Structure 1
Amino acid sequence: MEFKKIQTKSIVVLLATTMLFACEGNLNEVKQMANQLQGPQSTTKDINLFYTDSGKVQANLRSPKMLDFSQEEFPYREFPIGVEVDFFDEDSTKNTIISDYAIIYNITNLIDLRGNVVIVTSDSTELNSQQLYWDESENWLFTDQPYTIKMPNGAVNDGEGFDANQNFDNFNSRTNTGIQYIDEQQ
């Protein structure tokens, strides 16, 4: 009887050990599969996306490539080859943003534009910087990087760091120098 108990215990220990090693093998396989799945959920090429509201075009986004990481814990979309976006106002005037790289964070609605960032407004005002953030939910732009603004009247403003509403009606520069033209008749 004692031999049967020992034999039964040995078989149970052997089965448990086998299962443990089998599970460890499966765990390693699962980890390898997870490592293979790292990367974008999808890749899109030659995007030409229109955003409409009530049948009216609000924006047009174009990019050679978009990587979608919406499966991540902090989801985002990346435009590694650059992006160009046209925004249309109520009167159909167009404002354009161009950059060499962009990333959109889905949860925070923060857009990070990098490399040769250019904004051209409908009145031909042009802003240039190497990096610019746009808080889409607050309609607010900001950067800590140097920037240059060229006004339609020829005025030029160079500075380092600013924040502004997206219409540039409220513009706060940390430091700036430039040439301003003032209409004395007004």
Structure 2
Amino acid sequence: MPFVLLVCCVAYIGCREDVDKSQLAFYEGPTRVGFDIVLHHSDSAIVRTKLTAEKQLEFRNGNNEFPDGIVIHFFDKDGVLSTTIRADRGFYEKRTNLYRGEGDVRVHNILKDQKLNSEELFWDPSKKKIYTEKFVTVEEPDRIIRGTGMEADEGFNDYTFTKVTGIIDNAL
């Protein structure tokens, strides 16, 4: 009987509600972690995009972070790899359905031999656009274009600059 009384006392004391609720912190870190991520998006049984990342952090609000880099492959209507985007770090915001690459961001249109380099780039899969407000360098077979702010289709076929800061013809 004394043992039962002791257990009841401990249980009663352990259930006290005099804890200061302001001392309880809400966890804001990732709720899931994935490794060697490969995500495919297909249409009419043809892969249109392929996203790969070494590590993915998923948060409670649906956002994702790719702290070790991200690579996105775009395929043309026949399923042939046409363009790649690589970034040192990647982020996905569920609310806006936007991907953001940071660090050394590189886009390569393989079919046109065009290359883009910037420190930040957004991809809007709904609008099929890529864009940035940062400084951009675009290399083509016969010229290099530098500017600030750029928008292009996701395949980096057609692009426009907000502010061109220099064009060097026949630099390559």
| TM-score normalised by L of structure 2 | 0.78
Higher RCO structure, 1 or 2 (CA under 8 Å, sep 6+): 2
RMSD of equivalent CA atoms? 2.5
Q: Deviations over 1:26-68 (max 9, x none)?
A: x74x964x63x43111000111222222321111111110000
Moved more, 163-172 or 95-104: 163-172
Quote the Cα distance in structure 2 between the aligned partners of 1:163 and 1:170: 6
Alpha-carbon shift at residue 158 of structure 1 (Å): 1.1
Equivalent residue, structure 1, for 2:45: 55
Structure with larger Rg: 1
Tell me which stretches of 4 or more aligned residues in structure 1 moved more than 4 Å. Answer: none
Task: Name the % identity.
Answer: 28
Gaps of 5+ in 1: 1-17, 182-186
Equivalent residue, structure 1, for 2:131: 142
Alpha-carbon shift at residue 175 of structure 1 (Å): 2.5
Alpha-carbon shift at residue 170 of structure 1 (Å): 4.4
Quote the Cα distance in structure 2 between the aligned partners of 1:24 and 1:53: 57
Quote the Cα distance in structure 1 between the aligned partners of 2:112 and 2:89: 25
Q: Figure out how many residues of one structure are paired with residues of the other and give that number.
A: 155
Question: Given the superposition, is the C-alpha separation of residues 170 and 100 from structure 1 closer, same or farther in structure 2, using an over 3 Å criterion?
Answer: closer
SS in 1 for 2:18: helix
Greater fraction strand: 2
Equivalent residue, structure 2, for 1:65: 55
SS in 2 for 1:143: strand
Quote the Cα distance in structure 1 between the aligned partners of 2:86 and 2:30: 23
1:121-140 alignment to 2 at 5 Å? 121=109, 122-140=111-129
Moved more, 93-102 or 52-61: 52-61
